């Protein structure tokens, strides 16, 4: 997909899949509803001023269908999104831990080997990472488009994030 950033982790493609499924389903239903709306607007338009509007009763099978099918689709979307969310929030046992601190105007990264960087995150290729994050002064938002992760940090509270294998 060219309208989103390049995937920089294995979880990014899963997040892209959720986004693509939601986009396709939205477009299909938008087109379907628009076509049906135009069809019924033309079919049931008022032909003469003196003509009475016909009395139309509901259809119980139709009402059940248009309630059950969207409900099933929403459950499928929820389960698929939850599985991806759980993968993003559950780091593997062999994940490398990096401590992240949000400070006014900068980010600091403390690595397991004792090294520190400012405003640049370095990770090993094909190795899972667990980010343990905290804000020191105000609310901060940690966002890496290539990882498809965004996490808000609150002062005085630790937050963890697992961007996947990079």
**pLDDT tens for the chain, residues 1 to 166:** 567 788 888 888 999 999 999 999 999 999 999 999 999 999 878 777 767 777 778 889 999 998 999 999 999 999 999 999 998 888 888 889 999 999 988 999 999 999 999 999 998 888 888 999 999 999 999 998 888 888 999 999 998 888 776 6
pTM: 0.77
Per the structure, the count of domains in the chain is 1
Give the 3-state secondary structure of residue 136: coil
Q: How far is 22 from 15, CA to CA, in rounded Å?
A: 11
CATH classification of the domain holding 13: 2.60.40.420
Please enumerate in sequence order all residues whose Cβ is within 8 A of that of 112, keeping only pairs 6 or more positions apart, or say none.
96, 97, 98
Please enumerate in sequence order all residues whose Cβ is within 8 A of that of 115, keeping only pairs 6 or more positions apart, or say none.
none
- Residues spanned by the domain of 11: 1-166
Task: With residue 130 as reference, give the H or E element that holds it.
Answer: strand 128-135
Q: How far is 111 from 123, CA to CA, in rounded Å?
A: 9
């Amino acid at each position: 997909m060219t309208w989103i950033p390049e995937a920089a982790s294995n979880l990014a493609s899963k997040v892209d899949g959720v986004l693509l499924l939601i986009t396709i389903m939205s477009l299909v239903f938008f087109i379907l509803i628009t076509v049906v709306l135009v069809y019924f607007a033309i079919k049931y338009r008022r032909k003469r001023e003196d003509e009475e509007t016909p009395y139309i009763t509901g259809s119980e099978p139709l009402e059940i269908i248009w309630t059950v099918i969207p409900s099933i689709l929403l459950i499928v979307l929820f389960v698929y999104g939850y599985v991806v969310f759980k993968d993003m929030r559950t780091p593997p046992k062999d994940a490398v831990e990096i401590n992240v601190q949000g400070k006014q105007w900068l980010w600091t990264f403390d690595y397991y080997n004792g090294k520190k960087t400012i405003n640049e995150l370095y990770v090993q290729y094909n190795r899972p990472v667990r980010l343990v994050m905290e804000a020191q002064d105000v609310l901060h938002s940690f966002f890496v488009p290539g990882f498809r992760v965004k996490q808000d940090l609150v002062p005085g509270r630790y937050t963890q994030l697992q961007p996947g294998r990079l």
